Amino acid sequence: MARVPFYRENRIVPVGIMVFVMFLFFYHLDLDHTDPRTADLSDLPPDFSHKENTIKAESRQQQQQPLPSFQPSPSAIPPQSASDKLHTEKPTTPKPQKQQHGGQTTAEDVVLLFKTGASVLWRRLPIHLATSFASDRIPTDNLLIYSDYPETIGSWQVIDVLENSTESVLRSDNYEPYRQQADYEARQVYAEQANVEGDGNGPAGGWKLDKYKFLPLIQHAGRAKPDAKWYIYMEDDAYLFLPNLLQHLDRFSWQEPWYFGGLAWKHGDYFAHGGAGFALSRGAWEQSFGLEEDMVAKYAAFTEAHGCGDHVLGHVMQDYGINFGQTHGKSSYSWGFNPEPHWGGWFRRASWCQPLYSWHHMHSKDVARLYNFERSWDFATKGQMKYRDFFQAMIAPYMRRRVVWWDNQSSRYEIRSDNVADAQPPEGVSKEVWNKAWVSMDACEAACEAWKDCVQWTFYEDQCRMDENLMLGMGIPEGDQRRQTSLPRTSGWLPQRTDKWVCD
């Protein structure tokens, strides 16, 4: 065969090159459309690889977060653009370990019922979302947040517990703030105390709505969470030492009708003080709410006629044979649940070695500090936190021998220039020392030191007060107008005397 001249083969070369180039073009075009979720990122440019890893990290982090007990509607959450995702770099964190408290009852066995109000929600709820509602402390699905206005905060759903109120109740004058809330919202006036335009206090009279929330929230919780062993109630200005309380619940059978907290009394009814928090067993719910189709409607007239929702709940419990107290006895007082704040509550010899469960009237700063203290406590090793432990860590460091412009609320004995003639000193104290207590700060302190049980005193002008219980109290800071309208009050403490308050 004759050989084809070289110049005729050259005519084929451009065609071949064109075919080869087209093949490479479509090949790389296909590579550019590779799914980044499955592609090997090792050979990609550093910047692109970083962005893709950020997306993966966010996806893993979102998967670790627990689902909320009530999902917000999709329309309530604005969509996040792709650019937002790429520029929001969230560090991945390991899944938190469950907080150990050393008992058999766990946070999975209880439902936490948190009550707030529309006029204070934005001031009191956020600190709990950041602290006491941590998923390793209470599972998200075991938390119900109740208010008198529905809200969505991230993945948290706030339930309007008054939404299904009957028309007869809604016509009550006490419901006027509830009826006004929509108008506040529509006019862009929010109760946040943020000191910006559009900030307000919300409809006046929100406190009157509070009493209507107790029965419907207990009724709702029992039906929404029928597998719970305990229903634990707390308010938005309280702090509940949940790990401590879980150990306490180990002592009781959830199948029996238990109802306990801080003792309160009104109109002949003993009941658990709402601000101090309380615990209600599933057995108690079944024996009361479980027997009625609508407990709220049944006690609507009683609720309307009385002022406090915790009293209404206690009255219902009593009607169904469920007595307040840890011994099923009405008069049984239980330490641990406190209707006052830690700086305004008494530390007594009688409660010194008792476990601590709650404080009421908390500031947001208090909630954060108490949460940090709780996290530092080793429940598994040390057992329940006692009043003594809390005092030594959170109260004693603030006490001094003397502090001017401070009132520690001493009240057991009061000696004044106009009552000294009738003053009777405690056993072991000379009348001479006792009767001079009103003369000066030094004399007041000397009288306290002479009384072996005295642990604190306070002096004002010609008044000396002493006490065998400890309270931190509050002071008047520099620049406060009250310093211009009164003489200074001086307080002093002898906390070293608590060394005699020995725990077993």
> Rounded distance, CA 64 to CA 62, Å?
5
Three-state DSSP state, 159: strand
Q: What are phi and psi of 96, to 5 degrees?
A: -65, 145
pTM for this prediction: 0.77
Predicted confidence at residue 146, as pLDDT, reads 97
Give yes or no for a contact between 102 and 383, defined as CB atoms under 8 angstroms apart: yes
Look at the block and give the residue holding tokens 């990122």: 41
Predicted confidence at residue 199, as pLDDT, reads 66
pLDDT band at 14 (very low <50, low <70, confident <90, very high): very low
Q: In what order do the strands lie in the sheet with 413-416?
A: 403-404, 490-493, 456-460, 463-467, 413-416
Predicted confidence at residue 109, as pLDDT, reads 97
> Rounded distance, CA 380 to CA 415, Å?
47
**pLDDT 10s digits, 412-457:** 999 999 999 999 999 999 999 999 999 999 999 999 999 999 999 9
Give yes or no for a contact between 433 and 446, defined as CB atoms under 8 angstroms apart: yes
- Residue among 112, 69, 115, 360 at smallest CA distance from 216: 115
Predicted confidence at residue 262, as pLDDT, reads 93
> Rounded distance, CA 384 to CA 364, Å?
24
Predicted confidence at residue 195, as pLDDT, reads 66
Give yes or no for a contact between 429 and 460, defined as CB atoms under 8 angstroms apart: no
Contacts of 105 (CB under 8 A, 6+ apart): 229, 230, 246, 247, 249, 250
pLDDT band at 278 (very low <50, low <70, confident <90, very high): very high
Angle at CA of residue 236, ends 76 and 294, nearest 5°: 75
Q: Does domain 399-504 have CATH number 3.30.70?
A: no
Share of residues in the chain with pLDDT > 90 (%): 66
Predicted confidence at residue 331, as pLDDT, reads 53
Predicted confidence at residue 2, as pLDDT, reads 43
Q: How many Cα neighbours within 13 Å face the side chain of 7?
A: 0
The segment(s) of the chain belonging to CATH 3.90.550 are 107-319
Which run of H or of E encompasses 286?
Answer: helix 282-287
> Rounded distance, CA 257 to CA 280, Å?
8
The segment(s) of the chain belonging to CATH 3.50.4 are 399-504
Judge whether residue 472 has pLDDT over 50.
yes
267 Rama class: left (phi>0) / alpha (psi -120 to 50) / beta: left
DSSP-derived pairing of the beta strands 143-147 and 156-160: parallel
**pLDDT 10s digits, 136-187:** 999 999 999 999 999 999 999 999 999 988 776 777 888 888 888 888 888 8
| Other CB atoms within 10 Å distance of the CB of residue 376 | 8
**pLDDT 10s digits, 57-73:** 333 333 333 323 323 33
19 Rama class: left (phi>0) / alpha (psi -120 to 50) / beta: alpha
**pLDDT 10s digits, 188-221:** 888 777 767 776 777 776 778 899 999 999 999 9
The more confident residue out of 185 and 308 is 308
Q: Does domain 107-319 have CATH number 3.90.550?
A: yes
Predicted confidence at residue 66, as pLDDT, reads 36
- Helices in 117-225 by DSSP H: which ranges? 121-130, 167-170, 176-186, 206-210, 214-224
**pLDDT 10s digits, 72-85:** 333 232 333 322 32
Judge whether residue 134 has pLDDT over 90.
yes
Can you read off the two tokens belonging to residue 470? 């400890």
Predicted confidence at residue 330, as pLDDT, reads 57
Contacts of 284 (CB under 8 A, 6+ apart): 256, 257, 258, 259, 317, 322
